[in-house]
Amino acid sequence: MRISQLAETTGVPVATIKYYLREGLLPEGERTSATQAQYGDDHVRRIRLVRALVGVGGLSVATARSVLEQLDAEHDSVAEMLGVAQGAVTPTAVDGLDVGRARALVDGWGWTIDPGSHDVLAALEVAISGLEAAGFDLPDGRLDGYAEVMATVAEAEIAGIPVDSVDAAVQYVVLGTVLVEPLLLALRRLAQQDASWRRFGV
């Protein structure tokens, strides 16, 4: 199909598609003349994916490109895939940030984590420091409770990784990391409303 049809099929304007092409988010079509190219179903799927990453996932164009590169790359192990997926969406830690407390917490929960995941440990450290800086003390046991709940979530997620196809596994891990976050946050907010209603009746 031509770019105008691609725009019609996906509901994404031609100008936006051209922007995705320039930014390397979408592979070039098959050139049929100096000014025209043909696009296929792969392009339709890729455009929908880009929209999801940039829109719902809230990623920047640069981060989306990095996630897409991971989807297209070869991976040796689930741990490696997970590492690169998490790396793509976790901000790089400030140089020299002490993650000793985060490390001690993770050790206390008995979790084994990737030795290279300094940035994810740093994200935990930063989140806890942020609560402290704001003068918000988590009630006793709350942090352990959050960790327990997230361990349950992660257990089901990792158990569900498709093992019959590398492509499917990569897609599951990368998109599951990026796109499930907004889902969990929306569910938490709605569940809080229900819990508030049941407790306070207003």
62 binds its own copies (CB under 8 A): no
153 binds its own copies (CB under 8 A): yes
The residue among 58, 26, 24, 67 whose CA lies nearest residue 44 is 26
92 binds its own copies (CB under 8 A): no
Which parts of 105-124 interact with its own copies (CB under 8 A)? 106, 109, 111-114, 117, 120-121, 123-124
200 binds its own copies (CB under 8 A): yes
Q: Looking at beta carbons only, is 32 or 129 nearer to its own copies?
A: 129
How far apart CA 118 and CA 59 sit, in angstroms, is 21
CB of 165 to its own copies, least distance (A): 13
Alpha carbon of 33 to those of 28, 62, 193: distances in Å? 13, 30, 57
Contact segment (CB under 8 A) with its own copies among 1-9, 18-26, 31-39, 147-155 equals 147-155
3 binds its own copies (CB under 8 A): no
How many residues at the interface with its own copies, by CB under 8 A? 83
131 binds its own copies (CB under 8 A): yes
171 binds its own copies (CB under 8 A): yes
166 binds its own copies (CB under 8 A): no
Q: How far is CA 39 from the centre of its chain?
A: 27
Handedness of CA 86, 89, 92, 93 (dihedral sign): negative
Choosing from 78, 92, 95, 165, the residue that interacts with its own copies (CB under 8 A) is 78
99 binds its own copies (CB under 8 A): no
15 binds its own copies (CB under 8 A): no
